């Protein structure tokens, strides 16, 4: 019997294991369960006498960066108890397949979005505290314990409000690749904060440099190979008064700078940026929220450009534009998920939303809406990034 695994894969054998010839390649976590902890080949002897040759190779890994403002970060409306109730509706990802890094915009967001009571503010100087020293470690690059676990999206993790977990889950499901989702979106930020030398831009660059340090070390050990590096942009509410021309000029400055400054292993820059449709923020719960204001026009033009700077900018998700009437909400979920049957599991189950108020009661989404944004964004990204 021959078995081929990727680094950090989990595997369940049909009977208890009595011997592993090289425990550095495969490590038992129970009598019949093992995790691929090294690169190479070993022999596994099962209790019934069968011998299995296990080969572990490097795992393809895609890095997905989420930036923008509060809906990118994962804000939802309400007290901590309401946020806790939304977090448990986030998508569960399989162990050893998805890793997550979240650099919160404020200590309050850390609590509401991720359930973390932290005293660590995110700055370029503190960025090493937010990034794991290895993708199987609970220690940061600063040598401190990670406050937000890499495995937050697993069944043992506490989840996170936002579209992160669904994005990672569907990317992994559709490609078989491992996924590292990095979120440094920041609530209430205008696009000006994401221009070079502004605070959020510099935070993002500092964070991704730390991500690249860990990634390079993992690649050097033979654990992973870098597949795709994509960004997802959800922003525009704070710039609702901008004209299309004003927002376009700022977006051009931001994106051209990010393509130069956000570089991963061996000079791998951004493969593309997916734009999640932003509502106009003129009225949050009806069709008026789809008014064609400056940011919406500018983002649509960027998606349609297909050449020049914006050649690799694509529409990641627009289904959220549909959720502006109760009928449209009910019709969408019943069409996509008949009888509330989902292709994913959540920490606590939920039924198909029937009203706007179950998807967003203000500019912010509840978790069922975030899950749909993530699932859709993964499909669109893979279609556009080939």
Distance CA 184, CA 272 (A): 17
Contact 380, 275 (CB under 8 A): no
pLDDT in tens, 93-103: 999 999 999 99
Look up the CATH number of domain 59-385.
Answer: 3.40.50.1110
Q: What is the pLDDT of residues 257-293, one digit of tens each?
A: 999 999 999 999 999 999 999 998 877 777 888 889 9
CB atoms closer than 10 angstroms to residue 118: 16
CB 186 within 8 A of CB 193: yes
Q: Which residues of 353-378 are buried (b: 16+ CB within 10 A; e: fewer)?
A: beebebbbbebbbbbbbbbbbbbbbb
Can you name the CATH fold of 2-57? Answer: Immunoglobulin-like (2.60.40)
Of 68, 299, 72, 102, the C-alpha closest to 163 is: 72
pLDDT at 285 (0 to 100): 73
**Taking the domains of the chain in order of start, what are their residue ranges?**
2-57, 59-385
Answer whether 236's CB lies under 8 Å from 286's CB. no
Q: For residue 180, what are its two tokens?
A: 């590292």
Q: What residues contact 264, with CB distance under 8 A and at least 6 apart? A: 63, 208, 211, 212, 215, 226, 229
**What pLDDT does 288 receive?**
83
pTM of the model: 0.98
Residues of the chain with pLDDT under 70: none
DSSP structure class, residue 352 = P
Q: 317: which residues sit within 8 A by CB, 6+ positions away?
A: 274, 276, 277, 372, 373, 376, 377, 380
Q: Which residue has the tokens 């937050």?
A: 152
Give pLDDT, residue 376: 98
Sheet of 17-20: strand order equals: 2-6, 51-57, 40-46, 17-20
Contact by Cβ (8 Å): 44, 54: yes
- pLDDT of 342 reads 98
pLDDT of residue 137: 98
Q: What pLDDT does residue 153 have?
A: 98
Residue among 18, 17, 55 at smallest CA distance from 38: 55
Spell out a b/e string for 157-189, using b for 16 or more CB atoms within 10 Å of the CB, else e.
bbbbbbbbbbbbbbbbbeeebbbbbbbbbbbeb
Domains 2-57 and 59-385 share a fold: no
The dihedral over CA atoms of 237, 238, 239, 241, expressed in degrees to the nearest 10, equals 90
Residue 233 has a pLDDT of 98
């Amino acid at each position: 019997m021959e078995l081929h695994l990727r680094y950090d894969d989990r595997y369940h054998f049909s009977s208890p294991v009595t011997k592993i010839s090289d425990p550095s390649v495969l490590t038992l976590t129970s009598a019949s369960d093992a995790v691929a902890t090294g690169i190479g080949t070993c022999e596994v002897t099962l209790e019934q006498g069968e011998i299995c040759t296990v080969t572990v190779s490097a795992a393809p890994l895609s890095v997905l960066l989420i930036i923008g403002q509060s809906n990118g970060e994962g804000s939802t409306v309400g007290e901590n108890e309401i946020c806790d109730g939304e977090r448990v509706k986030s998508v569960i990802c399989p162990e050893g397949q998805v890793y997550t890094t979240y650099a919160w915009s404020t200590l309050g967001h850390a609590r509401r979005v991720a359930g973390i009571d932290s005293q660590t503010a995110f700055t370029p100087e503190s960025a090493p505290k937010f990034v794991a020293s290895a993708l199987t470690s609970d220690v940061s690059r600063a040598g401190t314990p990670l406050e937000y676990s890499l495995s937050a999206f697993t069944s043992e993790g506490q989840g996170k409000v936002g579209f992160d977990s669904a994005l990672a889950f569907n990317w992994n499901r559709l490609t078989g690749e491992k996924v590292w989702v990095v979120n440094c979106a920041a609530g209430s930020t205008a696009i000006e904060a994401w221009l070079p030398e502004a605070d959020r831009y510099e935070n993002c660059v500092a964070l991704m440099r730390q991500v690249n340090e860990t990634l390079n070390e993992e690649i050097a050990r033979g654990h992973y190979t870098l597949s795709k590096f994509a960004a997802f942009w959800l922003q525009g509410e704070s710039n609702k008064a901008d004209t299309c021309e004003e927002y376009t000029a700022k977006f051009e400055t931001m994106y051209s700078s990010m393509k130069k400054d956000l570089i991963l292993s061996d000079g791998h820059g951004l493969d593309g940026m997916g734009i999640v449709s932003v509502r106009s923020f003129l009225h949050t719960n009806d069709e008026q929220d789809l008014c064609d204001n400056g940011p919406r026009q500018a983002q649509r033009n960027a998606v349609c450009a297909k050449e020049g700077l914006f050649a690799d900018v694509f529409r990641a998700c627009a289904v959220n534009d549909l959720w502006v009437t109760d009928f449209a909400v009910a019709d969408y979920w019943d069409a996509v998920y008949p009888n509330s049957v989902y292709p994913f599991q959540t920490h606590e189950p939920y039924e198909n939303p029937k009203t706007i108020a179950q998807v967003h009661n203000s500019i912010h989404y509840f978790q069922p809406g975030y899950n749909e944004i993530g699932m859709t964004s993964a499909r669109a990204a893979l279609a556009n990034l080939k």
